[in-house]
Each structure stands twice: as C-alpha cells, then as structure tokens.
C-alpha cells in the first residue's frame, strides 16, 4: 500500500489498459457493471461506471475499486491538464 500525498489515506495503484497507473481506494467494492455514477476500476485496469455499492442492486455484481480521485478532497491538485 502507498499513502496519498494529498489526504494522507492509504491508496492502492492499479495499472490501466493504457499502461498508466491509477490510484484507487484500498478496499474493494462490489458493484453492478455499467450502471450508476461511481467511477470503478477493475483488476484488469478497465474504468467503468457502477452502481453505488451501498445500494442493493439486482443482477451480477463485480469486484472493483473506487477511483481515489472520487474520494480524495485534494484530487484536483493531482489531475493532469488535457
């Protein structure tokens, strides 16, 4: 595990399909693939939208991680210009 330089919380790094690394929260969440507004990163580096993991969903659930950019109060300081 690593520590976020902005908020000081633990983070995990997942290699994206592009080869770049994405910081995610360390605890996995169960989500319903393609539904919802949460940014979810899968073990194989795909970024998808998923349902709120605290809401009961119908259908198959998949394990993934929340992007740390979605939960870190200092995330805007780390975003790259496009």
Could you read off the pLDDT of 29-58 as tens digits, one per residue? Answer: 887 766 677 888 888 898 888 775 555 445
1's tokens = 């595990």
In a domain, 45, yes or no: yes
The answer to the question of residue 82 being in a domain is no
The mean pLDDT value of the chain amounts to 82
51 within a domain of the structure (yes/no): yes
Is 44 a domain residue?
yes
Domain assignment present for residue 55? The answer is: yes
Rounded to an integer, the average pLDDT of 49-72 is 72
Range of the domain at 60: 2-77
User: Does the pTM exceed 0.95?
Assistant: no
Number of folded domains that form the chain: 1
């Amino acid at each position: 595990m690593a520590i976020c330089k902005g908020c000081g919380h633990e983070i995990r790094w997942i290699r994206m399909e592009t080869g770049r690394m994405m910081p995610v929260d360390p605890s996995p969440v169960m989500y319903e693939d393609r539904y919802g507004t949460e940014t979810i990163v899968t073990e194989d580096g795909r970024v998808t939208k998923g349902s709120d993991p605290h809401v009961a969903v119908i259908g198959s659930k998949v394990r993934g991680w929340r992007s740390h950019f979605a939960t870190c109060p200092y995330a805007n300081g780390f975003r790259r210009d496009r």
